[in-house]
Amino acid sequence: MTNLKNTNPKILVIGDLMIDHYLWGSCERVSPEAPVQVVNIVKDNIVLGGAGNVINNLKSLGASVDMISVIGDCEASKELLGLFDKINVSTKYLTVQKDRVTTKKSRIIAAQQQVVRFDNESSEEINKESSQAIIGTFKSIFMNYDIILLSDYGKGVLTDELTKSLISIAMQKKIKVLVDPKGLDYSKYTGAYLLTPNKKEASEATNIDIKDQKSLRSAVKALKDNYDLSVSLVTLSEQGVAVFDNDLRLHPTAAKEVFDVTGAGDTILAALGFSLASNINIDNAIEFSNLAAGVVVGKIGAATATLEEIMQYESKISQISSDKFIKSWVDIESIVSSLKNNKKNIVFTNGCFDILHAGHVKYLEKSKSYGDVLIVGVNSDESVKKNKGDSRPINNEYDRAYILASIEAVDYVVIFHEETPFNLIGHIKPDILTKGNDYAGREVVGQDLVKELKLIELTEDKSTTKIIDKILSKN
């Protein structure tokens, strides 16, 4: 992880503030009045939710944070102000609208599981006076911040007109705006730097059913094109985060134990904002946000992650996970540059590696013997389908990359989406390219980009196709 210690970006958060209320208890019987559980409450607590949880996460990371929003003239609003006071966040830019009730979500937890939730709130759009107050405040202070985060929970603060105005004003001064979106129509977010929808939200917003690599690429590209985003990304739960600017990349999740996903989206937005405001590139920012989310989903309730917790978590998973050897195109470029500066000979090979077998491993071991570092390019699911038909691959691209990364002979794995690895080879510029000896006498893609081509004798009777045929013949 890029070192983010001692960074103190100034970040402005605008959105729906709310309270998350947790009632903790035990359940040992069913009510005689109705077929429902009886929970004996032993304690309760309140924490910041919604945009408030984004702010709390930013404070935990070490950012300087201010907020603009609208609250009600109610008991929940008083509780909310007290929570912000505890974390030393100023409430001077909040507007009080007397007819509103600030959202309070109450969750009953028994045996570490949520039993029921009940809400008390106003969710209609804020009035014109409140909207004008936000715009006036924003215009007077927005230039003081490195980045702006919009946390939209659909509770009425980020109206269509207001959201468009905020993004337009920020764009004029080239200040990045990151948005956690809500609803089906994302047009009000047009011009933002990026949005953070999950898979379901992205599918609904684009009318594209995300079910494979091809549809995922179509959806993230549609989001970028339709709403004039600088970067498009979609969070994919246990599959990680997909990002698209000029090409599609998938960053695997860092979560190993998931107890509660409450607030995970808030953490991702906060971590992205924090790292981008600290001048970290988008791929490293996503990896950082994945680590932060991995920390918070291992806790119960709307939680936060400190830099220390994130670094400890990264250290822990790096000892047991092969994820760290799967690299994006951006990462591999910097790694290769460092390797070449240290006079290391780089070997490159590529393939689908669908069902890994002994022949593959022997081939990779021989490839590694020709140099100091072996980088393996693995075809994406979309690329495999183009080359081998709709019935392939058997294993998805992340699974294939992960297994390759676990092999001792392999130093780094990079996924590519084109039908051939020509562009990736040109990107890496390896010293040696290896291929199976079945390519003897044939043109090998990328051989004109390297110093030397090595053809390796393949293990007889070992192939993924033969394995699949054998399985099918027994059925």
312 Cβ neighbours under 8 A, 6+ residues apart: none
How far apart (Å, rounded) are the C-alpha atoms in residues 13 and 55?
A: 7
Residue 337 exposed, middle or buried by CB count within 10 Å (0-12, 13-18, 19+): exposed
DSSP 262: T
Token readout for 31 is 């009510």
Residue with tokens 């079945």: 438
Q: Which of 185, 196, 276, 269 is nearest to 229 (CA)?
A: 196
Token readout for 81 is 């102000």
Catalytic residue among 20, 152, 180, 266: 266
How far apart (Å, rounded) are the C-alpha atoms in residues 104 and 97?
A: 16
Sign (positive or negative) of CA dihedral 81, 86, 91, 94: negative
- Residue 186 is which amino acid? Y
Token readout for 467 is 């394995």
**Where would I find the H helices in 207-306?**
213-226, 264-277, 282-296
How far apart (Å, rounded) are the C-alpha atoms in residues 217 and 342?
A: 36
119 Cβ neighbours under 8 A, 6+ residues apart: 103, 104, 105, 106
Annotate 113-178 with DSSP letters as a single string.
Answer: EEEEEEEE---SPPPHHHHHHHHHHHHHHGGG-SEEEEE--SSSSS-HHHHHHHHHHHHHTT--EE
Please count the other Cβ atoms lying within 10 Å of the Cβ belonging to residue 429. 15
In contact, 244 and 217? CB cutoff 8 Å:
yes
How far apart (Å, rounded) are the C-alpha atoms in residues 181 and 164?
A: 13
Crossing angle between the packed helical segments 160-172 and 128-141, to the nearest 10 degrees:
10
In contact, 363 and 369? CB cutoff 8 Å:
no
Can 283 be counted among the known catalytic residues?
Answer: no
- Residue 200 is which amino acid? K
Enumerate the active-site residues. Answer: 266
